[in-house]
A and B are shown apart, each in its own frame.
Chain A
């Protein structure tokens, strides 16, 4: 069941990566990047469930925080700049 979750998360990562590379506006790229961060946190959690070893999990907390800060910073940037 965890292997199936890995497959689903990897497919989601492909979709978000497509939007990050293609997305016409800067907002689209930020959306793709946010999605990739979510995929990364999910993958860390699934790996911890698979191995039963939780020593990598604080990274998930840090990635969550960094994702929020980067989104806020890019939002300020877009506000002044436009495209």
Chain B
């Protein structure tokens, strides 16, 4: 069971790498990395936890998996927001762009927070 989960997780990581190489846009590449490789890495870590029988190893693996699940979406959100707002990085949002509406609605507040920094 453990090695099988690790194999599936590795395949998902390879799919994420394929998306990172092939996708045409910055945000699309980040999308491929975040979704696929979070699940892939957690599957590999779970496979390791099922295979090893040392308590120390199992807790390390589960802690790493929990941290990955907690931090990967947050990091990707920070990164994509910075990319969206940065000058000189081309990024396109296809149909629904809720961040633009949000920024337009809160224009004065955004200026205040920019002045505070």
Contacts and interface: CB of A to CB of B under 8 A. Distances in A.
Contact of A42 (B44, B67, B82): B44
B48 A45 contact: yes
Interface residues of B, number: 53
Interface of B is mostly: helix
A46 B51 CA distance: 10
B15 to A, nearest CB: 8
Given A14-B17, A35-B16, A64-B71, A54 B52 contact: yes
B92 interface: no
Contacts of B110: none
A7 B75 CA distance: 28
Nearest to A71: B75
A38 B83 contact: no
Interface string A35-51: 10011011001101100
Contact of A38 (B37, B52, B78): B37
B11 A8 contact: yes
B33 A15 contact: no
Interface in B29-59: 29-30, 33, 37, 40-41, 44-45, 47-48, 51-52, 54, 56-57
A68 B52 contact: no
A82 B21 contact: no
Contacts of B75: 34, 67-68, 71-72, 75
Nearest to B117: A80
A39 B89 CA distance: 26
A64 B60 CA distance: 11
Interface string A65-83: 1011001101110110111
Contacts of A81: 86
Given A57-B48, A68-B67, 4 more contacts: A1-B4, A25-B90, A28-B29, A82-B86
